[in-house]
Amino acid sequence: MKNNTILNKYYKNSPLNNREIDLIICHVLDINTAGLFIYNKTISADEDYLINDLCNKRSQGLPFAYITGKKSFWTLDLKVNQHTLIPRPETEMIVELVLEKTDTSFNGNILDLGTGTGAIALSIATERPLAKISAIDFSNECIKVAEFNKKQHSIKNVKIFQSDWFNNIKQDKFDIIVSNPPYIDEDDDHLINLKYEPDMALTAKTNGFADLFHIIENAKKYLRKNGVIMLEHGYNQHIKVQKYLLQNNYKNVETHNDLAGIPRITTAEF
């Protein structure tokens, strides 16, 4: 199929690069890229329409994860949809930091605030099977996706439920609280590149700090003595996050850079 005129038609009629077109065709035909080299069936009219439609949507900026309905994170393939934020590789640093703080015998309590697809909570759960993990989200649509991902990967040690941050938290104390909350300023120009993702998962009031500060203020009520908080934030927010943690009597405040050298996660103890 690689050399026939049908495939070349897609290449010529789309501004996308050939690799992206190949991936869209594979998605529609439900084959892998290796199978594309030996595919010798006729593409139906419905398949042809869908391929062209998805190429058009992708060329207009629709994220590839929303086209395929899935995204890899840590060791998991996760369902995503337009109700959920697409998990980013840099957020995997939270999982790495949790693993550094614990070992495989860890059986404490972890809280994931704003779980979305369940990416952070489910990834930690696969590495720390004795841990008891609570994962919350305000959006019931996100809860459905996270529950699907939990079931898909047969993960037993995560409890997922709806909560407006701490409002429905019944567990008294946690050893670790993690969150990748909304932290983009509502007027940030970068939002034009994120127009397909849910605004409520991206933006926060007070120049992007409202949810970060709310979590910092309230998390200390739910942390055990010397419990750890881990917060993802924007590239230019770490100084204010550090200061607010110190103002709220946290200790051992530290910011960790991602692989691009960007301040990404700030941790502290209470």
Q: Where are the domains of the chain?
A: 5-60, 69-269
Are 28 and 69 in contact, with CB atoms under 8 Å apart? Answer: no
Answer with the residue of higher pLDDT: 37 or 123.
Answer: 123
Over residues 162-183, the mean pLDDT reads 94
From CA 237, how far away is CA 216, in angstroms rounded? 14
Is the pLDDT assigned to residue 3 strictly greater than 50?
Answer: no
Give Cβ neighbours of residue 37 (< 8 Å, ≥ 6 apart): 1, 2
Residue 39 is predicted with a pLDDT of 83
pLDDT at 6: 67
Strand partners, 223: 174
C-beta of residue 24 within 8 angstroms of C-beta of residue 14: no
Judging by DSSP bridges, how do beta strands 223-232 and 263-269 pair with one another? Answer: antiparallel
Task: Say yes or no to pLDDT of 2 above 70.
Answer: no
Pick 195 or 124 by higher pLDDT.
124
How far is it, in rounded angstroms, from Cα 171 to Cα 177?
12
Average pLDDT score over residue span 87-100 = 97
- pLDDT for the residue numbered 64: 94
Q: Ramachandran region of residue 30, left (φ > 0), alpha (ψ -120 to 50) or beta? A: left
> Could you confirm whether domain 69-269 is CATH 3.40.50.150?
yes
Contact 88, 258 (CB under 8 A): no
CATH topology agreement for domains 5-60 and 69-269? no
- For residue 16, give the nearest of 48, 45, 44, 57 by alpha carbon: 57
pLDDT for 4 equals 59
Is pLDDT of 46 > 80? yes
CATH topology of domain 5-60: Helicase, Ruva Protein; domain 3 (1.10.8)
Asked if pLDDT for residue 10 goes beyond 60, the answer is yes
Token couple for 45: 């009219």
Does position 195 have pLDDT exceeding 50, yes or no? yes
- Mind listing the pLDDT tens digit for each residue in 95-144? 999 999 999 999 999 999 999 999 999 999 999 999 999 999 999 999 99
Confidence of residue 9 (pLDDT cuts 50, 70, 90): confident
CB of 166 within 8 A of CB of 218? yes
pLDDT given for residue 33 in this prediction: 85
What confidence category does residue 75 fall into, taking pLDDT thresholds of 50, 70 and 90? very high
